[in-house]
Amino acid sequence: MLLPERLSPSQLTQLFETVHTTKPAYAEICSLLKKIFSLQEGGLSACRPPVMSIVETRLDAQRQGGLPLIEKGQILVDWPSMESLFQRLCAAALGENALMEAAGTTLLERCQSGKLDLKHFGTLLMNDDWPLFEQQAVGSDLQSEVLALLTYHSIWPSVAIHLNGLKGHLPENEDWQLGYCPFCGSHPMLSLLAEDGGRSLVCSFCRHTWTVPRIFCPYCQNRDAETLGYFFSEAEPEYRVHTCQKCKSYLKSIDLRQLLRPFHPFLEAAITAHLDMRAREDGYLDRTPVWVNIG
C-alpha cells in the first residue's frame, strides 16, 4: 500500500498556499500550524533523545498479546531541546489571535522564569492523563488546551526519532489489525483510504500509519457492517466521517485518491472542524486527544 511520507519544506509551503485559497475559513488556524510545522522541522534536527532499546520479552508480548512496541509514558524525551522548541512555539503564537496571544505570553513568561514544569506536563500528556493535566494547568492559571497543543508539538521530534529508529521492530501489516497504534498504543486521529483502496489509520501521537480492515471501528473493534456507516458532503469528496452505532464514536477519513494536494494529518484534522461539529450534533463522540482538534 502506498502511504504518504513526511512533507519537505517546499511541499509544506505549497500546501499552505493551496489551502489558503481553497479553505479561507481556516486561515487563522492554518497560520499557526504553518509556523508550528516549520519550527518543528528545525527542532527535529536539534533533537537528541537518549537511545531506546526494546527487550526481547516486549517483542514477544507484541507478537502474541497485541501490546504496542513501547509504553508511551516511558518515551525518552530530549527535554532541553523540547523546552527550547516549546519557547519558540510560544513566541510564534504571539502573532496569532487574542486567545493564542494571551496564552503564548503567559506560557513564555512562566517558562523563562523557570515556573513551568514542562517535563511534568509532558509526562502527564504522554500518560494520557488529561483530567490531571487540565486540572493542574487551570490551577496554575494556564490555558490548558494551548499548553497541550504546544507541549505535544514540542515533544513530537523526540517521538519521531524513536519511531524512525525502532520501526524495524514493528509487526507486518497483516499481523496487526487493531484499533490502536502498534508503536505507541494511541488511538487514531484520522482514517485514510490509499491509492489501492486499502484502509489505514494515522496515530494521534506518533503519526505512524498502520493498515486495518475496511469495515472496522477502531474504538470498539466492531466489524458488523449493519452498525457501521459514514456520511460525507458532495462538495468535499475527499472526506468521509465513519460512524459506529455500537460505541457512538466517529472518525474522520481522507480519501487520498480524491485529495488534490499533499497530505498532512494535523492540517487535514484542523481544516475539517466543520465535520467534527456535524458528527457531534448527530450525537457521536470525538475520541481524539485535545491537541488534534484545537482551532
Catalog residues that contact Zn ion under the rule CB under 5 A.
Answer: 181, 183-184, 186, 203, 205-206, 208, 217, 219-220, 222, 244, 246-247
User: What is the spatial distance between Cα 173 and Cα 210, in angstroms, rounded to a whole number?
Assistant: 7
Nearer to Zn ion, 30 or 149 (CB): 149
d(CA 95, CA 31): 10
CB of 186 to Zn ion, least distance (A): 5
Q: How far is CA 45 from CA 9, 41, 158, 276, in A?
A: 13, 7, 10, 34
Torsion of CA 269, 17, 43, 79, to 10 degrees: -30
Cβ atoms within 10 Å, residue 111: 18
Of residues 103 and 181, the one with the C-beta less far from Zn ion: 181
Q: Is 200 helix (H, G, I), strand (E, B) or coil?
A: strand
- Spatial separation of the C-alpha atoms in residues 213 and 201, rounded to whole Å: 10
Contact assessment for residue 164 and residue 127, using Cβ atoms and an 8 Å cutoff: no
In the complex with Zn ion, the residue whose CB is nearer, 208 or 264, is: 208
- Please state the closest distance from residue 293 (CB atom) to Zn ion, in A: 17
Our CB check for Zn ion shows the closer of 110 and 187 to be 187
CB of 53 to Zn ion, least distance (A): 18
Name residue 173's amino acid. N
Nearer to Zn ion, 247 or 273 (CB): 247
Minimum distance of Zn ion from residue 246's CB (angstroms): 5
Cβ 189 to Zn ion shortest distance, Å: 10
When the beta carbons of 139 and 283 are compared against Zn ion, the nearer one is: 283
**Number of alpha carbons in the 13 Å side-chain half-sphere of residue 89:** 30
Quick one: 246 or 261, whose CB is closer to Zn ion? 246
**Which of 111, 122, 39, 116 lies closest to 79 in space, CA to CA?**
122
Min. distance of Cβ 18 from Zn ion in angstroms? 28
Q: Return the half-sphere exposure (C-beta side, CA atoms, 13 A cut-off) of residue 221.
A: 4
CB of 200 to Zn ion, least distance (A): 13
